[in-house]
A and B are shown apart, each in its own frame.
Chain A
Amino acid sequence: MDEKVQNTLLEIADDELILGWRDSEWTGIAPLLEEDVAFSSIAQNEIGHARALYELVARERGITADELAFDRDPADYRCAQIVELRLLDWEKAIARHVLYEAADARRLERLKASGDAEIAGLAAKIDREEIYHRMHAQMWHDRLQHEPRYTAALADLRPLLDKRGEHTAELAELWEEMTMVRRSQPAGTKW
């Protein structure tokens, strides 16, 4: 697996890990109990996808998925800015969800056609689960599509889908929280 392919997988894995973290922030505070359940479940799936993708890259590099997920400097993450933001306005969270799931679907289609059978197989497996995320996004899009606050959020967030390489300040804050427990012990600690 060459460097370019590894970086593509890391891009997706980082998106899924960071978005999973942000989605989990809705646990217990969503406007409906049903949405506490939905976003918690989506977060769990996204982090599961991140783990599987990290494992492919980690094996190539002779390290662990945890090291890739947590031990890199925030500047080295390859995620897009759209997943980094702490969006605790419902219409913004839904706008991100709708934009991200559509972009992720296109990316997974390309990955499913990969010449590397392992990558194509994992992409197909991930996509089976993502179908349900897309249904959830579609359901909320149908409900909110004529709401000005929602359409404004779509317009504001759309450009951030492709913004990679430079990060928002919110990624560093998230990374501090995300890795706090892991960093509380020396590197190499067996948890």
Chain B
Amino acid sequence: MVTEAQVWDALSEIPDPEIPVVSLVDLGVVREVNVADGQVHVDFTPTFLGCPALEVMRDAMAERIRALGAEPQINVCLDDSWSTDRITPAGREKLRASGFAPPAPREAAAPTLVQLQSNAHRCPYCGSTETRLENIFGPTPCRSLRYCATCRQPFEQFKTI
């Protein structure tokens, strides 16, 4: 009989399809795991709604759960329960170490253009805060592009949502 802890362990080994340095558990997209009568029920919250990685994530979770000998039930929650604050401290550190600036913590009010342009955003390579916004958008919906004036390195910044 599979346990919830075993399921969490298995899910924590699934890399994010687009940023494989972090796992689905690091990203905080697995909201709940319940095991009952040989069925594993997972509540999964997408990050960005248009993210093409969602289907891949869902299939990968189902496959891992089947490999544990249980029947997966992946419930996709289209509610507002995921934000970038759900990324774990370990996940944030893995992002930074691989050159992705982790998202700034959410504030009470929604992020603004002025904040993106003027707040201190730290370069994940050299740690300088002398960085500027190059593009609100980037190669995937979850990222912005910034440039570090100190080490002259462009880098990707996880958007705060």
Write the residues of chain A forming the contact surface with B, with a CB cutoff of 8 angstroms: 34, 37-38, 40-42, 44-49, 51-52, 55-56, 117-118, 121-122, 124-126, 128-129, 131-132, 135-136, 138-139
Distance in angstroms between the alpha carbons of A6 and B142 in the assembled complex: 29
Q: Which 6 A-B pairs have the closest CB atoms?
A: A48-B50, A121-B79, A48-B49, A124-B80, A41-B137, A135-B113
Knowing A135-B136, A139-B113 are in contact, say whether A52-B159 is a contact too (CB < 8 A): no
- Residue numbers in A under 8 Å from B137 (CB-CB): 37-38, 40-42, 132, 136
B116, A125: Cβ atoms closer than 8 Å: no
Apart from the given pairs A40-B137, A44-B50, A51-B50, 4 other A-B contacts in the complex at a CB distance below 8 Å? A37-B139, A45-B48, A56-B78, A121-B80
- As a 0/1 sequence over residues 59 to 84 of chain B, the CB contacts with chain A under 8 angstroms (1 = contact) are 00000000000000000001111110
- Residue numbers in B under 8 Å from A42 (CB-CB): 137
Distance in angstroms between the alpha carbons of A87 and B132 in the assembled complex: 31
- Residue numbers in A under 8 Å from B78 (CB-CB): 52, 55-56, 118, 121-122, 125
B161 at the interface (CB under 8 A from A): yes
* Secondary structure call for the A interface: helix
B135 at the interface (CB under 8 A from A): yes
- Residue numbers in A under 8 Å from B51 (CB-CB): 48
Write the residues of chain B forming the contact surface with A, with a CB cutoff of 8 angstroms: 48-52, 78-83, 110-113, 116, 134-141, 145, 159, 161
| Closest A residue by C-beta to B84 | A128
A45, B161: Cβ atoms closer than 8 Å: no
* Secondary structure call for the B interface: loop
- Residue numbers in A under 8 Å from B112 (CB-CB): 135
Looking at A37, A49, A125, A136, which has the most chain B CB atoms within 10 Å of its CB? A125
Distance in angstroms between the alpha carbons of A42 and B140 in the assembled complex: 10
| Closest B residue by C-beta to A48 | B50
B80, A128: Cβ atoms closer than 8 Å: yes
B160 → chain A closest CB, angstroms = 9
- Residue numbers in A under 8 Å from B79 (CB-CB): 117-118, 121-122, 124-125
- Residue numbers in A under 8 Å from B136 (CB-CB): 38, 132, 135-136, 139
